[in-house]
Amino acid sequence: MENKQHRNQEEQLHIYYVVAEIALEIRYPSQIKMDAVLYNFKRFQVEEIPDGMPVISFDLFLNNVQLQQEHFKLLSDISIVWGDNFKFYESEQQYLTHIEGSQANQSASWKMLSNKNFSQSAIYTDGSIEAGNTALSWLLMVAFGQSILRFNTALIHASVVKKEDRAVAFLGKSGTGKSTHSKLWLQYIQGYELLNDDNPAIKCLPNGEVYIYGTPWSGKTPCYKNEKGRLEAFIRLKQAPYNQMESKTGKLALMALLPSFTALRWNNELFSSMIGLLENIIARVYVGELACLPNEEAAKLCNKEIKNNKSYNYE
């Protein structure tokens, strides 16, 4: 994506991050203190991108961009995070993610133009960029989460606990108790720590092993660990007046995981990549559904049932 005119108007600096063994390259105006703006990315920063590593590129500009709106088709105006201030469009060559600032909170307007596989994006804002800016971090997450699907990697909605080199991920609808169940494991299952509480990344390696990674995005919990663990189990949680674990395989396992993975349903290439990744995962990782109460017994039952499933080599 070419932005030569804008690059000539202002000095651009570079900063690099590596998340789940995939690089983010951000070019930005020199007046921005990126270390302060993206403080949650600090543990992922690198001096240079390793040779051969996939790269997702971003250009950040402190101005608005004029678009010929008739060239774009509205695909979605639904966002849990941004409510009515969000729009997502498509043209023949690009996607446009638009967050429109409201006068009530005096927030800036943001536009992100991305190519069709999100490997290159240009982000424009007409307001000041403040430390820990939520909009910028969110836009980076959107593009990163779509583009990495081409590399057997995905961002997922999950809370993840880790012990040494292995990890367990808890899935479920918002309010189901993912964070609560993670806290129960930290309290009652010896040796576990929180890896990520909202948006970890999962990768299927060429040798078939499945790893889950901490990321700069962790919801309301400030847990930005640049660590990974071999994924031993996916557990979908369901609130109930009792504790009961049920294993899922095949199509049922796929359906248990699918709501927690995100790919544009309008983009056949990215959506197909996500389904292929899911099929590889369920062949190698235990998937269970835990109907449970938010108590100690639920955590211990879950841990016991994962250990008992010998086919997934849980140690």
pLDDT tens, position by position, 122-131:
999 987 787 6
| Per-residue H/E/C for 41-82 | HHHHEECCCCCCCCEEEEEEECCCCCCCHHHCEEEECCCCCC
What pLDDT does residue 103 have? 42
User: In the predicted model, is pLDDT for residue 9 greater than 70?
Assistant: no
Q: Which of these ranges, 3-7, 60-64, 117-121, 186-190, has the smallest mean pLDDT?
A: 3-7
Q: What are phi and psi of 52, to 5 degrees?
A: 80, -5
Picking from 142, 172, 291, 171, the residue whose alpha carbon sits closest to that of residue 233 is 171
Please say if the pLDDT value at position 116 is more than 60. Answer: yes
- Mean pLDDT score of the chain: 91
Distance separating alpha carbons of residues 96 and 75, to the nearest angstrom:
10
Q: Which of 14-23, 31-40, 105-114, 286-295 has the lowest mean pLDDT?
A: 105-114
pLDDT at 313 over 50: no
Which helix (DSSP H) or strand (DSSP E) does residue 185 occupy?
helix 178-188
Residue 73 burial class via C-beta count within 10 angstroms: exposed 0-12, middle 13-18, buried 19 and up: exposed
Question: What is the mean pLDDT of the segment spanning 235-258?
Answer: 96
Which pLDDT does position 81 carry in this prediction? 86
Domain ranges of the chain: 4-151, 153-312
Query: Helices 250-257 and 268-282 meet at what angle, rounded to 10?
Result: 120
Question: What distance in Å separates the CA atoms of residue 222 and residue 228, rounded to the nearest whole number?
Answer: 17
Is a pLDDT exceeding 60 seen at residue 229?
yes
Please tell me the distance from the alpha carbon of residue 172 to that of residue 163, in angstroms, as a whole number: 21
Structure tokens at 310: 């010998």
Q: Is 3.90.228.20 the CATH number for 153-312?
A: yes
pLDDT of residue 2: 46
- Coil, strand or helix: which one is 96? strand
Asked if pLDDT for residue 247 goes beyond 80, the answer is yes
